[in-house]
Amino acid sequence: MNNMEQFANASSSNTALFAGVGIITVIAWWKLFSKAGFSGILAIIPIVNLAVASKIVFDSYWYTLLFAVPVVNVVYAAVLNYKMMKYFECSTLLAVLAIFFPFFLLFPAFGSNEYHGPATNV
């Protein structure tokens, strides 16, 4: 097996992994958006899903613009994930794990957790 074949195999494995993580995140966000009073289908639309997540966590769509700033976007995504988990009655450990492993978002999404955040007046 030459180097090009090894690169192609590794590349397809990474693509499958990231596609799987993306699908899990969309499924979890669909349920979380529904629990927060938004339409679940908004989780599929690329920029809109970030805007709705910002509205759920910070009660403002304007925070979505932070995703356009390099380095700040990574920190903002971690804070957004952490606070979303906390607003859905998750423990601190589960919230921190959800930052690094998105499949932990499935626990509050399909559990009996309720939304207790700032955007309750939707």
Answer yes or no: is 24 within a domain.
yes
- Mean per-residue pLDDT of the chain: 90
Q: How many domains does the chain have?
A: 1
Range of the domain at 87: 3-110
Per-residue pLDDT band at 120 (split at 50, 70, 90): low
16-47 tens-digit pLDDT:
888 999 999 999 999 999 999 999 999 999 99
pTM for this entry: 0.86
* 11 against 98, higher pLDDT: 98
Examine residue 118 and state whether it is found in any structural domain, yes or no: no
Asked if the structure places residue 66 within a domain, the reply is yes
Give the pLDDT band of residue 105 (cuts 50, 70, 90).
very high
77 located within any domain: yes
Q: Closest Cα to residue 84, out of 18, 15, 38? A: 38
Residue 78 located in a structural domain: yes
The CA-to-CA distance between both ends of the chain, in Å, stands at 57
pLDDT in tens, 61-83: 999 999 999 999 999 999 999 99
Domain assignment of residue 121, yes or no: no
The string of DSSP codes covering 40-90 is GGGGTSHHHHHHHHHHHHHS-SGGGGGGGSTTHHHHHHHHHHHHHHHHTT-
